[in-house]
Amino acid sequence: MTEDILSFTEARTGRIRLNRPKAIHALNTQMCAAMLEALAAWRADPAIEAVLIDHAEGRGFCAGGDIRMIALSGAGDGEAARAFFRLEYQLNHALFTYAKPIVAFMDGITMGGGVGISQPAKFRVATENTRFAMPETGIGLFPDVGGGWYLSRLPGHLGEYIALTGARLNGADCRALGLATHYLAAEKLDQAKAEIAANPQAIAATLDALSEDPGQAAILDQRADIDRLFAADTLEEIVAALAADGGLWAREQLAILATKSPQAMKVSLHLVRQGRHMPSFEDEMRQEFAVASRVVQRPDFAEGVRAVIVDKDNAPRWQPATIEGVTDHVIDQIFAPLPADQEWAPA
């Protein structure tokens, strides 16, 4: 068992604690394997009635996946990247289909891979520290780990907006949009965990009793603008709508989109739109694996990681450099099903 994951039992609960604080608990292949192993062990154990997922010390729940490793692999044969995605998506699916209730504590940074292990949980707890985002378009990637499923099920066109811009949401936003089921003050989390461990059959009542009003969700103030400006069929039309609007908020979104990978934005928009009609979460993950397998070996991902994470010059040179340069044919190629012997399947 990797020390990056602490798995233990407490009273009638199984506990999974992310323990890689220097990387804000970003997931690597070994962590995904350890979590899958723990879930499998508890699945048929009658002594375990619920599972709690949280993080050890540090300022975030989970900042994502092991991006440097994925980029390094993607620049070569992509084998290690595909192995990571295969296992990570099996973990996402195992959480989504788990028969016992899962409680995820999204206290602090919850991005990318952190979204993937919290959103499948029946109970998702946000706090005043929660910073939720799917910022992948900024590094040439897309909101994977089930992002196409979760974002497409948000009201109106919030899914398109969050996927394209990488907008950061706080705890109040998450509660208002249903990304969190409860909002608790961070100081009450230990009490909540202790009470749940003592009585896992009363999770909802425990969290309800400890919940508080998070206040007004700022994202709701922009809801009408989001639904109006992110509704168009194509990325080109969305950009045109923002440019034509001329208001301050629209201009800010236009400036944000100008920094993102054109290819990644088109992939993300297509993913959210397809996600609305995906028959099952398993089908969603199968498609996301095919897309991820291809995207990590395309130039924009390596360039995005270089610009944002390695050199930190924040001056990526995207290929193609314009959204018009990303053809429908390229998107069709990226989304094509994999050969049967290569495609993803649940654990």
Buried b (16+ CB within 10 A) or exposed e, 320-339: eeebeebeeebbeebeeebe
pLDDT at 108 over 80: yes
Can you give the pLDDT at residue 109? Answer: 97
| Residue 109: partners with Cβ closer than 8 Å, 6 or more residues away | 24, 59, 60, 61, 62, 63, 131
The percent of residues above 70 in pLDDT, for the chain, comes to 99
Beta-carbon contacts of residue 332 (< 8 Å; ≥ 6 apart): none
Q: How many CB atoms lie within 10 A of CB 241?
A: 16
Report the DSSP beta bridge partners of residue 13. 10, 50
pLDDT digits (tens, 9 = 90+) for 176-203: 999 999 999 999 999 999 999 999 999 9
Q: Which active-site residues does the annotation give?
A: 65, 113, 136, 144
pLDDT band at 2 (very low <50, low <70, confident <90, very high): low
Give the integer Cα–Cα distance in Å for 281 and 192: 29
Instruction: Name the DSSP class of 181.
Output: S
Q: Specify the pLDDT at position 58.
A: 80
Mean pLDDT within 245-272: 97
Q: Is the pLDDT of residue 112 over 50?
A: yes
Looking at the domain that runs over 5-335, which CATH code has it been given? 3.90.226.10
Closest Cα partner for 213 from 158, 176, 168, 167?
176
Residue 177 half-sphere exposure toward CB, CA atoms < 13 A: 29
Pairwise CA distance, residues 4 & 28, whole Å: 9
Per-residue model confidence (pLDDT) at position 59: 83
pLDDT at 1 over 50: no
Question: What DSSP string describes 293-328?
Answer: HHHTTSHHHHHHHIIIIIS-------SSSSGGGS-H
Strands of 123-126's sheet in order across:
5-10, 13-18, 50-55, 102-106, 123-126, 182-183
pLDDT tens digits, 326-344: 999 999 999 999 999 999 9
- For 293-303, what is the mean pLDDT? 95
